[in-house]
Amino acid sequence: MRDLTRRSLLIAVAGAAATAACSASGERPQAPAAGAAPGFPLTVGNTGRTLTFAAPPARIVSLYPSMTDLLIALGAEGRLVGQAGTGYSAPQPQYKDKAAAVPVLADTEATTEALLNARPDLVVSDQEYHFDGKRLPRRDDLAGRGIQVYINRALHEPTKVTSTVPDSFADVLDLGRILGTTHLAEPLTAGLRQQLSDVEARLAGVTPVGAVLLTSYDSALYAHAGGLYGDVLTRAGARNLTEQAEIPAGEYYGQLSPEVIARKNPEVIVYVYRTEDNRVSSEQEMRRLFAATAAGRSGRFVPIEEASFGGALRSAPAVASLARALHPQAFR
């Protein structure tokens, strides 16, 4: 849903900035230094591209809060020279202080000027649409400047509809290799897998509740089916009442009318929010529109933060917290 809620922002400004900034002379990757770090040079495949690192990156920019959290968890806080999208989600509490020390390039989408002024050698992003030559330079253009781009695998366009929470753990391991901190990445991944296993054990034999997962945006309602959105909902013990056939091909969300959603008569309505104000207004809207449904009559409206669908570090805990909200009796 991030591509829906953010693509309309800053397009004209970012396009102008990209044109101006890309006219500057580019920087080329440096040759490997003598006495390279163990495991380097390193080659990693990512979203159809091959990234090669002569050494662990020294200057990193993150374009989305869930990726910022992950980089901090992997010990890279001292190498973070910029972050963007801070207005979309607060950092997780355990990373709040370290995230606060990272310069903010933008609370929404970073401009080309801000990105290049940070002089990164690695940009870590949630999705690829940023790099269209208008918002930000294309990935090939950045590579020509010595800037590698790593994209969240689970939100990559060709596979975003089929990606699962465990699929997203590959980002933890890949970034651990890139950062030279596999000693942190491996136990972190094991812990995330254990979280999912614990939820699965708790929900064994529990009947899934009929639910819809909705986002309210610009006076329209969007229902989620596939990808991380659908997988988080299902692993938390819900039966998703929105079918993939109701969603446009290649997407994990689609606009549905309140009438169509109401006819599904969900037992629970799970709604996505970004800020606290957005959470309050979204719940008020859901309660008004769906008062006559089973969820409305029982008051079962459950909020879930948008960044919960950012993969790995956010999505596994989101499964656990949502499962507790849907099936509290299983966690007593």
Cβ(215)–Cβ(222) below 8 Å: yes
Whole-structure pTM value:
0.87
Q: Residue 158: what pLDDT?
A: 86
The residues near 128 (Cβ < 8 Å, ≥ 6 apart) are: 47, 139, 151, 156, 157
Strand 220-224 relative to strand 253-255, pairing: antiparallel
Of the candidates 216, 325, 225, the one whose C-alpha atom is nearest the C-alpha of residue 271 is: 216
Of the candidates 311, 276, 289, 314, the one whose C-alpha atom is nearest the C-alpha of residue 47 is: 311
Q: Residue 35: what pLDDT?
A: 56
- What tokens were used for 187? 């136990």
What are the b/e assignments for 137-156, b being 16+ CB within 10 Å? bebebbbebebbbbbbbbbe
CA atoms of 269 and 262, how far apart (whole Å) = 10
Q: Residue 36: what pLDDT?
A: 63
Q: Residue 157: what pLDDT?
A: 86
Task: For each of the domains in the chain, give its residue range(s) and CATH number, in order of start.
Answer: 2-151 (3.40.50.1980), 205-331 (3.40.50.1980)
CA atoms of 66 and 80, how far apart (whole Å) = 14
Q: For 268, phi and psi rounded to 5 degrees?
A: -140, 140
Q: Residue 214: what pLDDT?
A: 98
The per-residue pLDDT for range 182-198, each reduced to its tens digit, is 999 999 999 999 999 99
Compute the C-alpha angle 72/132/248, nearest 5°: 90
- What tokens were used for 145? 């400047």
Where the chain has pLDDT below 70, the residues are 1-36
Q: Residue 192: what pLDDT?
A: 98
- What tokens were used for 72? 């901090």
